[in-house]
Amino acid sequence: MRPRSYLLIRSKRTFFTTLLIATLTLLGVWFVGLRQDWSLFKDSLVAVSILAISLLSFLTAGLYFGVKLRDTLGSVTEHIKKLPMPDSLSNLNLGDGTVNAGHGEGCLEAVAEIFMWLIIALVAVFVLWIAAAVVWATFLTCTAILYWLFFRALRFVFRHSMECRGRLGLSLRYGLTYATLYVSWLYAIILAVHYLH
């Protein structure tokens, strides 16, 4: 058996490491921006610039060392099916159920007040159940899409690994090209929001 001529990294570990680095970068820039009285625009530009430099470094080093990406997460939809979906809100606390009746309004008004309370409670439970299901499904779908895009994007970049292995100039050129492609839309959104506001 011939030894591998490339370095194999796991996609799951890379994805979660990237999420951790991005979160720490955003929090760090935000806290520094609070001390420096930076605007949200400047905070965003600094954070995206740090992430772009990190991505460029990662891509260039990966291409230079001949890295390939192995999918260790598997089918994301299988993981989503294992997660609990909200099927009821039985633990929802709607108060103690006391009705303020008996101040001379009469029995019919007290019954109408209880009936209205029950209808409002049922509508609230239904709306909360629907909202929880929609939010949960949206979160899982966005996570799956982000992972898929992340995995596909890195595999697309690292297909040049054999060509770039040991060649710093070519690795830097490919890294710069793909880092620019993957980060430029963030700059476009930040600038558009700032100047079109």
Tell me: the pLDDT tens digits for 43-69? 888 888 888 898 899 899 989 998 887
Burial of 20 (0-12, 13-18, 19+ CB in 10 A): exposed
The confidence score (pLDDT) of residue 192 equals 92
pTM of the model: 0.61
How many other CB atoms are there within 10 angstroms of residue 184's CB atom? 12
The confidence score (pLDDT) of residue 100 equals 53
Residues 6+ apart with CB under 8 A from 19: none
Residue 136 corresponds to which tokens in the numbers above?
């949960």
- The dihedral built from the CA positions of residue 148, 151, 157 and 158, taken in this order, carries a sign that is negative
pLDDT tens per residue across span 125-164: 989 988 888 887 777 777 776 776 777 888 888 899 889 9
